Amino acid sequence: MTQQKASREEQIQRDIHDLHGLGYAQELFRTMGGFSNFAISFTIISILTGAVILFDYGLAWGGPAAATIGWPLVSIFTLMIAASMAEIASAYPTAGGLYYWSSRMKNKDWGWWTAWFNLAGQIAIVAGIDFAAAAFVNSSIVTPILSNFGIAYGNGSAILGSSLMSGQLLTMAVLMAIQLVLNVAGIRIVALLNDASVWWHIGTVVVIVLALFLISSGKAHSSLSPFAIGPLDTVFAASPLGVNLGPAIGYAVPIAFLFSLLQAQWTYTGYDASAHVAEETVGARLSSAWGVFISVAVSAVVGYIVLFGLVTHLPPLDQVFNPSCNTAPVGLCSYYYGGNPVIFTTLSYNLGTLGDWLGAAIAVAMSLCGLASIAAAGRMLFAFSRDHGVPGSPWLRKVSHRFRTPANALIGIVVFSYVLTNAAFIAGGGTAIVIVTAISTIALYWAYGVPIFLGIFGKQEWRDHAVWKLGRFSRPIAAIACLWIVLISVLFLWPTSGNPWTLMAYLVFLGALLVYYFAWARRRFKGPIVEVGEVELTEIEREFEHAAEELAGA
């Protein structure tokens, strides 16, 4: 036991020395192990969040093949992106990693753009996750419980008679408040919950799949092959050419299948979290690199298992999709917009009451996903604020002496995300929130793509520091990763009948960043410049130790 403790302490000292070399003091609490580092990214990817919410989207555009063929196809390319990121993460183990990587591999301006893409994506993805989590919590937990007491409460309930506050937004506020308190209270609590979340996700998937294959025998199911390629929304999921996507129009089906790939790509976000918590991870160089890569690899396998179980047990399609979708205006077909009817209908049809309980388990998984997302986004905002990259940086960069967490940055993330959700809800309801989610995914992948691109064409000194290496495959894999990001960006931004506004909204976002960059950041932002030495950094750390001693003696 003594030897293990000494070995761990020695590793922590090496981690702190590495952090000093990057120019930062050990302000955060370094207690997270390798499994916990993997767990935070795995929880944010959350195959029970993205894959479930967007299960309907994949069916609408590509049919069952969106899951059985599209998921593994996207997984391969996402693993290349993760591998390229992991390699760089092992060279620069610091919070806000992607922004720091770009700054070191090129200059502060590239770092600034990477940071804002990453930050915008983080804020919007927290908003999207918790808004969806609130819907599932209400549908599967809160509404059934309150109905026993004669209380009518649901996602569409008007709170205090106001059309500006729905039951979904209220539940989201409660969820985010709980997630904030847990995050501020300490990385140990978050790490423990993330560790539990891994087994919760895997256990729920195992129960879903086993139950579907063991309990649903004898029930009538959809006659579609699980590998059938073809859009099920043949009326309103119009192609970019503006034509009907019915099976008779052969050339449109491959195009529709390409759009169905976004079901998987939307799910694969947030695995940069392993890099963002590097300053709290023991053995950060290797642990954060493996965390980025393994979280995607495990999600690929577990996600395919649950999706295969679902597509092979779809009820007859007339019981899955609302018949009004053939005549209703675009936007009323909830399955097209990633609503929850298909997953709930499939579980309830096959499993009855057990399906309802599994719906509640999925809601818990989504809530844990939101908890982890706030943790990662808070670290990213803290790191960027530490280098004075955002308005209010002096306040946002402060670390709680009691908990050794970036408390102010965490508060900022929760407030910004909730305000964004309310603004989107007021502006356009569910459609606007879908646009926000799409923009968040594009912004995140651009933040991933910039340092990967610079890893090929930028300064190459980072390769001397990397300890997780791809060898001679490094540049080819990075090049393929960049090309894939370009392709999915086109798919995300291309106007379709279901979502014609994402491109315009993203151009507005880019325009605002351009104005901010030329008006302020280009001249005033200095980037992650090391301005103090080892002695000063050690003194900062002693201040935290002294504060901890005072708090312990109080």
The DSSP code sequence of 266-292 is HHS--TTHHHHTGGGBTTHHHHHHHHH
- Comparing 492 with 81, which gets the higher pLDDT? 81
Predicted local distance difference test score (pLDDT) of residue 162: 66
Angle at 328 between CA 322 and CA 330, to 5 degrees: 105
Instruction: Kindly state the DSSP code that residue 314 receives in the 8-state scheme.
Output: P
Which pLDDT band, with edges at 50, 70 and 90, does 553 fall under?
A: low
* Residue 233 reports pLDDT greater than 80: no
Q: Is the pTM of this model over 0.85?
A: yes
Angle at 260 between CA 45 and CA 504, to 5 degrees: 85
* Residue 513 reports pLDDT greater than 70: yes
- Comparing 30 with 221, which gets the higher pLDDT? 30
Residues ≥6 apart with Cβ < 8 Å to 531: 23
Using CA atoms, how far apart are residues 333 and 331, in angstroms rounded to an integer?
6
For the chain, the domains span: 32-553
Predicted local distance difference test score (pLDDT) of residue 344: 75
* Residue 534 reports pLDDT greater than 90: no
Mean pLDDT of 454-475: 96
Q: Is 331 left (phi over 0), alpha (psi -120 to 50) or beta?
A: left
Q: Which of 523, 457, 446, 444 is closest to 105 using CA atoms? A: 457
Contact 285, 64 (CB under 8 A): no
Mean pLDDT of 496-511: 80
Average the pLDDT over each of 29-33, 147-151, 249-253, 276-280 and give the range with the smallest value: 249-253
* Residue 416 reports pLDDT greater than 50: yes
Q: What is the dihedral of CA 53, 56, 62, 67, to 10 degrees?
A: 50
Which pLDDT band, with edges at 50, 70 and 90, does 242 fall under?
A: very low
* Residue 522 reports pLDDT greater than 70: yes
| 32-553: CATH, from 3.40.50.2300, 3.10.20.30, 1.20.1740.10, 1.10.3720.10 | 1.20.1740.10
Buried b (16+ CB within 10 A) or exposed e, 513-538: beeebeeebeeebebbeeeeeeeebe
Using CA atoms, how far apart are residues 382 and 386, in angstroms rounded to an integer?
6
- Comparing 254 with 323, which gets the higher pLDDT? 254
Buried b (16+ CB within 10 A) or exposed e, 195-214: bebbebbbebbeebbebbee
Using CA atoms, how far apart are residues 435 and 440, in angstroms rounded to an integer?
9
In angstroms, what CA-CA distances link 230 with 64, 83, 152?
8, 32, 40
Angle at 550 between CA 546 and CA 553, to 5 degrees: 140
Which pLDDT band, with edges at 50, 70 and 90, does 330 fall under?
A: very low
Mean pLDDT of 98-110: 95
Mean pLDDT of 105-131: 94
Distance, C-alpha 172 to centroid of its chain? 17
Predicted local distance difference test score (pLDDT) of residue 78: 98
Contact 100, 463 (CB under 8 A): no
Predicted local distance difference test score (pLDDT) of residue 54: 81
Compute the mean pLDDT over every residue in the chain, rounded to the nearest whole number: 86
Mean pLDDT of 496-518: 85
Using CA atoms, how far apart are residues 394 and 392, in angstroms rounded to an integer?
6
Structure tokens at 188: 């140990």
Average the pLDDT over each of 246-260, 499-513, 532-546 and give the range with the smallest value: 246-260
Position 267, amino acid: T
Contact 331, 431 (CB under 8 A): yes
- Comparing 337 with 56, which gets the higher pLDDT? 56
pLDDT tens column, 362-379: 999 999 999 999 999 999
Contact 373, 122 (CB under 8 A): yes
Which pLDDT band, with edges at 50, 70 and 90, does 76 fall under?
A: very high
Predicted local distance difference test score (pLDDT) of residue 531: 57
Predicted local distance difference test score (pLDDT) of residue 283: 95
Predicted local distance difference test score (pLDDT) of residue 394: 93
Residues ≥6 apart with Cβ < 8 Å to 506: 439, 442, 493
* Residue 95 reports pLDDT greater than 60: yes
Predicted local distance difference test score (pLDDT) of residue 334: 44
* Residue 246 reports pLDDT greater than 70: no
Predicted local distance difference test score (pLDDT) of residue 369: 96
